Structure 1
Amino acid sequence: MKLPRTSHTSRPLRIHGIAGDFHLEDVWDLPTPGGPDDLPRLVRLFTEGELMGGTSGAARLLFAIRWKLGKLFGWDKPAAGFGARVATLQDRLPDDLRDTVPAAVLGVGGFRPLYATHDEWAAEMANSTVHGILHLSWVPAPGGGHRGRMAVLVRPNGLFGTCYMAAIKPFRYAVVYPALLHAIGREWQRQERKPAGDQAALRNVRR
């Protein structure tokens, strides 16, 4: 479910002090009911799960087209990313958030983890179109329990980046986000059916 921006901006999140110059594009409630310490499990789903494989054919097609266009026009070349066009947000992290996550690159979109706390996790990506942040938080749920929340923050690359974000917006809302949320919910339920030993292992994600 899409949430108002205030559901993100009103919370005392560490990302506010790191990415204050980024635009909050979207906030989503995730179908991931759990306990107070289940954020590592959600992070593992994003970093090691098979979310793209569980999305619809239309969503996978859109991503395939995007990567083809990126390769054709050079949108994702190293010269368009970190160190060349933009500086990594790692340089903005306070000391207590440095080295809280492994310096790995995620499989989808080239996201690089930034930091993790007991209730937040963030990763960044950069190309010719935008400098973007994927932010996950773990929040109390109405009626009890907890659940995940996903926010997308962006800093477009000039007029081109702004036009690009406007052009893909209908596809994001009509195809990509519904497919992604469905895949997240399905994988979360599948993990719930795993034996207790496997569930304990899922929580052993470095914070």
Structure 2
Amino acid sequence: MRLPKSDHTGRPWRIHEIAGDFKLEDVWALPTPGGPGELPRLTATISAMEFPEGAPPLVRLVWNARWKLGALFGWDRDKHGTGGRVATLRDRMPDDLRRAPTDPRLDGDAFTSLYQLEDEWAAELANRTVHTVMHLSWVPDGSGGYRGQMAVLVKPNGWFGTAYMAAILPFRYLLVYPALLRTIERGWKASANA
């Protein structure tokens, strides 16, 4: 379920210290009911996912088309990533965050983990279009339990990045996010049975 942006901005997350110049694009309640202290289970669940495998064919088609276009036009080359076009957010992190664990590592994924604390985890990705942060947190659900929350922060790369974000908006809301949330929910349930 999509949440008001204040559900992210109203909390004292450490990501605010290092990504203040990023735009908060989306905030989502994750279908991951649980108890206190389960952020490591959530991050392990997400790092084990092989999205978009298992998603509907149309989602896989859109997802794969994006990566093929990126390869064709060079959007995802190293020179456009962190350490190339943009500095990694690790360069902005205070010493205590630099010492925090960076697990889980997202093997084979374009995201690079920045830090994991007791109730928040952040990873970044940069390419020709945007510099983005995926922020996961573990929050009270209002009924005595807890759940995951995902925020997506972006910093578009000029007019091209802004146009790109506008162009993919309907695909994100109609296809990608619903499929991603279902995949997270399946992984969460499977991790409870493991």
1:107 partner letter: G
Q: Does the 8 Å contact 1:2/1:27 carry over to 2?
A: yes
| Cα shift at 1:61 | 1.1
Could you say which residue in structure 1 is the equivalent of 2:186? 186
Could you say which residue in structure 2 is the equivalent of 1:107? 108
Could you say which residue in structure 2 is the equivalent of 1:127? 127
- Give, in whole Å, the separation in 1 of the partners of 2:119 and 2:161: 31
Could you say which residue in structure 1 is the equivalent of 2:34? 34
| Cα shift at 1:49 | 2.7
| Cα shift at 1:105 | 4.7
Q: Does the 8 Å contact 1:45/1:51 carry over to 2?
A: no
Could you say which residue in structure 1 is the equivalent of 2:151? 151
Q: Does the 8 Å contact 1:51/1:184 carry over to 2?
A: no
- Residue 181 to residue 103, structure 1, CA distance change in 2 (3 Å): closer
| Cα shift at 1:103 | 8.6
Write out per-residue CA displacement over residues 37-90 of structure 1, whole angstroms, 9 at most, x where no aligned residue: 110011011112334323222111111100110010000011111222100000
- Give, in whole Å, the separation in 2 of the partners of 1:120 and 1:24: 16
Q: Does the 8 Å contact 1:139/1:147 carry over to 2?
A: yes
Q: Calculate the TM-score normalised by the size of structure 1.
A: 0.89
- Give, in whole Å, the separation in 1 of the partners of 2:79 and 2:106: 17
Gaps of 5+ in 2: none
2:54 partner letter: G
Could you say which residue in structure 1 is the equivalent of 2:141? 141
Whether 1:162 aligns to 2:162 is yes
2:111 partner letter: F
Q: Does the 8 Å contact 1:47/1:107 carry over to 2?
A: no
- Give, in whole Å, the separation in 2 of the partners of 1:187 and 1:51: 11
Matched-pair identity in %: 59
2:15 partner letter: I
- Give, in whole Å, the separation in 2 of the partners of 1:70 and 1:2: 27
Aligned residue pair count: 193
- Give, in whole Å, the separation in 2 of the partners of 1:158 and 1:106: 29
Q: Does the 8 Å contact 1:138/1:146 carry over to 2?
A: yes
- Give, in whole Å, the separation in 2 of the partners of 1:97 and 1:105: 19
- Give, in whole Å, the separation in 1 of the partners of 2:141 and 2:53: 28
Of stretches 80-89 and 130-139 in structure 1, the one that deviates more from structure 2 is 80-89
- Give, in whole Å, the separation in 1 of the partners of 2:106 and 2:118: 21
Cα RMSD for the two superposed structures: 1.3
| Cα shift at 1:188 | 1.0
- Give, in whole Å, the separation in 2 of the partners of 1:155 and 1:184: 25
2:108 partner letter: G
Secondary structure of 1:139's match?
A: strand
Secondary structure of 1:96's match?
A: helix
| Cα shift at 1:193 | 2.3
- Give, in whole Å, the separation in 2 of the partners of 1:104 and 1:158: 29
